[in-house]
Chains A and B, each alone.
Chain A
Amino acid sequence: MDKVMQVSVFSENKPGRIEKITRIFAEEGINILAISITSTNGFGIIKLLVDKFELAHEKLKQNGFTVTLNEVLAIEMRDSPGGLHEVSQILSGKGINIENAYVYVVESRARAFLLVEVKDIEKAKEILSKEDLKFFRPGDFK
């Protein structure tokens, strides 16, 4: 299973933060594959799956952002009715709780990835490696 890293950015809940992040990415030729935003009590965390995560991390840091990289599970699923259900059935069957999740669609109506954050990623990877699941590979960055 290849390591898939997401970029997590701390942000106060105020206008202009996403604008600044995306401007940096545009300048650096970094492609955003998927994005998720969670906010509460006046602040939030923006999570991004990008093609060049190390460069993205570095550039955001240089621009003063509070940013970290963390690993997520990227599980392939069909982009058609029932696709997410098949994957989530396996996760729940194995007792793996989803802390946060979002989706990266590779080919519309054909193939997508469920990006999942879990409490203990090593354990989850071990359990899921025995299942009939496909995971993200570097070639899936399109």
Chain B
Amino acid sequence: MAREDIRTFQLEKLRKLLRRVYDNVPFYRIRCDEAGLDPGNIQGLEDIRKLPFTTSDDLRLNYPYGLLAVSRDEVVRLHTSSGTTGKPKALFFSKGDIERSANLIARCLTMTGTGKGDVLQNMMTYGLFTGALVMHYGAEKVGALVIPAGPGNTDRQIALMQDFETTAFHITPSYALYLASVLQKKGIDPGKDLNLRRAYLGAESYSEETRKKIEYLFGIDVYNSYGLTEMNGPGVAFECTQKNGMHIWEDHFLAEIINPDTGEVLSDGQKGELVITSLRREAMPLIRYRTRDITQMITDVCECGRTHRRISRILGRSDDMFVVKGVNIFPQQIEQVLMGVTGVAQNYQIVLESYDTLIVKVEMSKELFDGNIEHLVKLQSQISEKIRAELIVKPKVELLEPGTLPVSEGKAKRVIDNRTM
């Protein structure tokens, strides 16, 4: 599909969407009226900029049914997205939404080589979180055998992989690293003893170093998956076999990149917050939804030939970003440094006690311990120096005994902020 055709298609969907929300969602009708936007007179995709953003606060204020665009009996599924404070966000799916979200995942899986004959072990949480169910439906659609394993119970995960010859798995990066360490402990070499070929990683942002490490540890291809509950869940953007950015499915989503502080729309290639309009969701479409995810648009045509633009891997959440000594820091920057250091394990934690100290806790690697305290002191200062070179802020590095940081089988909590305003 040529770029022009995609934009024409998006405009047609946008016109229908605005008509639909104007007629059915009082929240958006008021917003259109206030902005002087007539849904019957949309000239181009840029007209959407006249409307303000929809934020997670708007979702909470309209909890639970306030943003529904269909009657309640049209809705067949509820998912929620947890907030760190207060009420969760309620997101609804119509029958058609479930069908379309499964089709998008099917597109992602086919693109990366998963299909009939594959065994996909789905290690995301089944439940109110969208990660597992949406993938599940899409994987069934392409004819794979789906094992709804859910996360955790690592011994059973490994037994399932062995007994059913799992070829692909869907997992969070932190759990993938943990799984690799358990396999190693058990003396199982995934390259020789298992049938794994590829993994789909999502739900947490992670660095390119982590991807390479996971690919190496399992002897597989790792594909980055992007999604959020507000936009169906996984399958909003997905990597092709080029592994160079995720194609955002522009026939379903209208993407903008904005400056998170000013709201100004940025041009392609500039780093900023991803804002998405779900063009085709029926039950609960959102207009200019602020994802809080920091990324950038990659515009040159992908070597795979697809014309859907790509977003770079998520560089951080504007929520996760923290400030120490006036410097904006994302946990991923620290992770990237740690992955490049030998002698430390994969788990880490960032602790903030004041506005001018950054504490990074890392676990020692058991294998590389030689009983020499000088080597440990050197390792400690090496890590501290490398982080300083990356962030400008010199951290206090604490070396911990392996296994002392909490192990996550879901989303990892990397930053502990003990500061009070």
A residues whose Cβ falls under 8 Å from a Cβ of B: 6, 8, 10-12, 38, 40-45, 47, 64-70
Max chain B Cβ within 10 angstroms of own Cβ: one of A11, A40, A69 = A40
Given known A-B contacts A10-B376, A41-B380, A43-B376, A66 and B401 have beta carbons under 8 A apart: yes
Please, which residues of chain B bring their CB within 8 A of the CB of A12?
A: 399-401, 404
Please, which residues of chain B bring their CB within 8 A of the CB of A6?
A: 371
Interface size class of B (residues with CB under 8 A): 10 to 19
CB pair B371–A47 under 8 Å, yes or no, is yes
In the assembled complex, the CB of A40 is this many whole angstroms from the nearest CB of chain B, namely: 6
8 nearest A-B pairs in the assembled complex, by CB-CB distance: A8-B371, A68-B371, A70-B371, A66-B369, A45-B373, A43-B399, A66-B366, A68-B369
CB pair A65–B401 under 8 Å, yes or no, is yes
B residues whose Cβ falls under 8 Å from a Cβ of A: 364, 366, 369-373, 376-377, 380, 398-404
Cα of A10 to Cα of B366 in the assembled complex, Å: 9
- Return 23 A-B CB contacts under 8 Å, by A number: A6-B371, A8-B369, A8-B370, A10-B376, A12-B400, A12-B404, A38-B373, A41-B377, A41-B380, A41-B399, A42-B398, A43-B376, A43-B400, A45-B371, A45-B372, A64-B402, A66-B364, A66-B366, A66-B402, A67-B369, A68-B370, A69-B371, A70-B371
Cα of A33 to Cα of B366 in the assembled complex, Å: 25
Cα of A11 to Cα of B404 in the assembled complex, Å: 11
CB pair A44–B373 under 8 Å, yes or no, is yes
Given known A-B contacts A43-B376, A66-B366, A11 and B401 have beta carbons under 8 A apart: yes
Cα of A12 to Cα of B377 in the assembled complex, Å: 13
Cα of A12 to Cα of B208 in the assembled complex, Å: 31
CB pair B403–A64 under 8 Å, yes or no, is yes
Please, which residues of chain B bring their CB within 8 A of the CB of A11?
A: 401
Cα of A17 to Cα of B180 in the assembled complex, Å: 28
Cα of A38 to Cα of B366 in the assembled complex, Å: 19
Q: Please, which residue of chain A has its CB at the minimum distance from the CB of B371?
A: A8
In the assembled complex, the CB of B377 is this many whole angstroms from the nearest CB of chain A, namely: 6
CB pair A10–B403 under 8 Å, yes or no, is no
Cα of A11 to Cα of B403 in the assembled complex, Å: 12
In the assembled complex, the CB of B359 is this many whole angstroms from the nearest CB of chain A, namely: 10
Cα of A64 to Cα of B403 in the assembled complex, Å: 8
In the assembled complex, the CB of A84 is this many whole angstroms from the nearest CB of chain B, namely: 23
Please, which residues of chain B bring their CB within 8 A of the CB of A66?
A: 364, 366, 369, 401-402
Max chain B Cβ within 10 angstroms of own Cβ: one of A6, A43, A45, A70 = A43
Seed contacts A8-B369, A45-B371, A64-B402; 13 additional CB < 8 Å A-B pairs: A8-B370, A8-B371, A11-B401, A38-B373, A40-B373, A41-B380, A43-B376, A43-B398, A45-B373, A45-B376, A66-B401, A68-B371, A70-B371
Q: Please, which residue of chain A has its CB at the minimum distance from the CB of B380?
A: A41
Cα of A6 to Cα of B370 in the assembled complex, Å: 12
In the assembled complex, the CB of A107 is this many whole angstroms from the nearest CB of chain B, namely: 28
Please, which residues of chain A bring their CB within 8 A of the CB of B364?
A: 10, 66
Cα of A45 to Cα of B379 in the assembled complex, Å: 15
Q: Please, which residue of chain B has its CB at the minimum distance from the CB of A9?
A: B371
